[in-house]
Amino acid sequence: MSALKCTSCGGTDIDIGAEVACTGCGMVLEDQIIVSEVTFDEGPSGNMIASGTFVSNDSTGAASSFHAGVRLGGKESKEITIQNAKRGITQICLQLKQKQNVIDRALAYYKQFLNLKLTRGRKQELNHAACIYMALRHEQSDVLLIDLSDILGICVHELGRTYLKFTKTLCIKPPSMDPCWFIYRFSGQLELGTDREKVSHTAMRIVQRMKKDYIHYGRRPSGLCGAALLMAARLHEFNRTPSDIVKIVKIHESTLRKRLLEFGETEAGDLTLEEFMTVEIESEADPPSFKASRKQDRERLQKMEGEIDITDIDDAELDNYIMSEKEAEFKSSLWHRVNEKYLKEQQEKEEQRQRDIEEGKPEKKRRRTTKKKKNQTPANSAVEEDEDGDYVDDEAEEAEEDEDGEEISIGQLLRQKDEGGDDNDYDDGSDYGEEYD
């Protein structure tokens, strides 16, 4: 008895064949059964043909028929793309003399980027080379980006941008490249003969010292290797010029000279060959970028001190910066002439203020008035809060005015208006009054 149950009649007598049907009511429960095993049927000519359809794990289109696959050899577009990528990656790896594990890893990277649709809009050579370089970095190989660029004849900068795009998308942080990996490779192209091992050993020791003095931070390994090989070759009495090194490591000559100068500023740069190979310096030098920034700071401080310090200036030069008495008098008279009107007004105001004090007149107080706001509601009580946040009693103010008993005459008001015209309040027509002195 089957464990299945008919959804129509509730019967449990289920026939499982090409279709799953109930024998009691004839209800078809399933008509397309996906199975993991492969069955074969006999064809018209007596040959065996696989029945059913094959559904690929990474299929993007409709399921392909076993019969069509055997007879016509039909393939999906994605499968064809992967086969072409495998062929291209294999050809590049054979030129680089790499093993099969590099090919498999690069192809696995390519499949991931293909599923993420990152390979669209780029040349397939760039995609293949970027995947190969990722695999080589994982295997800690001595192949550089410029080597792939030379083999394929593509721009190394464009290849580098593609590589960075792929690594950032998958959040892959490849291991850092040790410059010592490239020493033995580059030394073989310098024609050193039997002394190749000695020169390589000395160059590796120089690179290790550079790493200890923080010279390798932010630098390409080819530049460090070129500087180390040039110094090691000359220490072992091989006449090698910077142009010879540049052709091998493929860097600019100015970059090579910078690495040499940076190493020359360290303590190890003052040692001889015997001392360098035997003496171990425990101290570490500051990074070149730190030295450059400190040098700029010192130059800036010296420039500032030079502007402030007057000890080196003689009296004749110092007199040029200080005005003489005639120049000071001329400047003062010129200022008084320009501001004559303003000074006269201020003098008249001061004289009037002194006369008012002598006559016993009270000192004028500036009155602060504000324009009433629109739609202002009447006060609910005699005690209200003014604009400054203080509580004002209107009745108390009126009582104080009555106690003073002194009224201001019209003549005084007119005189105040004439004399203090500049002290009046100014209303610009807005909702808020502004006072101008």
Q: What is the CATH number of the domain that holds 130?
A: 1.10.472.10
At 347-403, the pLDDT tens digits run 998 988 888 888 877 766 666 666 555 555 544 444 444 444 444 444 444 444 444
Q: Which domain holds residue 277?
A: 179-288
- Domain boundary at 260, 288, 316, which? 288
Give the closest residue to 53 by CA, choosing from 71, 69, 42.
Answer: 69
Report, as an integer, the average pLDDT of 304-323.
62
Question: Is 135 a domain residue?
Answer: yes
Residue type (1 letter), 192: L
22 has a pLDDT exceeding 60: yes
195 has a pLDDT exceeding 80: yes
Same domain? 210 vs 153: no
Within 309-324, where are the H helices? 315-321
CA distance 123 to 415: 93
Report, as an integer, the average pLDDT of 80-101.
91
| Residue matched to tokens 């390409």 | 220
- Domain boundary at 137, 170, 203, which? 170
237 has a pLDDT exceeding 90: no
Please give the pLDDT value at position 300: 80
Question: Is 301 a domain residue?
Answer: no
- Domain boundary at 270, 288, 306, which? 288
Specify the 3-state DSSP secondary structure of 173. coil
At 127-167, the pLDDT tens digits run 999 999 999 998 888 888 888 999 999 999 999 999 999 99
Provide, for the chain, the percentages of residues in helix, strand and coil under a 3-state DSSP scheme, each rounded to the nearest 5.
55, 5, 40
What the block records as the tokens of 412 is 């005084």
Same domain? 249 vs 194: yes
Give the closest residue to 227 by CA, choosing from 266, 176, 195.
Answer: 266
Question: Is 61 a domain residue?
Answer: no
pLDDT more than 90, % of the chain: 16
Please give the pLDDT value at position 430: 37
CA distance 78 to 83: 9
Residue type (1 letter), 386: D
CA distance 16 to 30: 9
Q: Say if CB 52 and CB 44 are below 8 A apart.
A: no
Same domain? 208 vs 228: yes
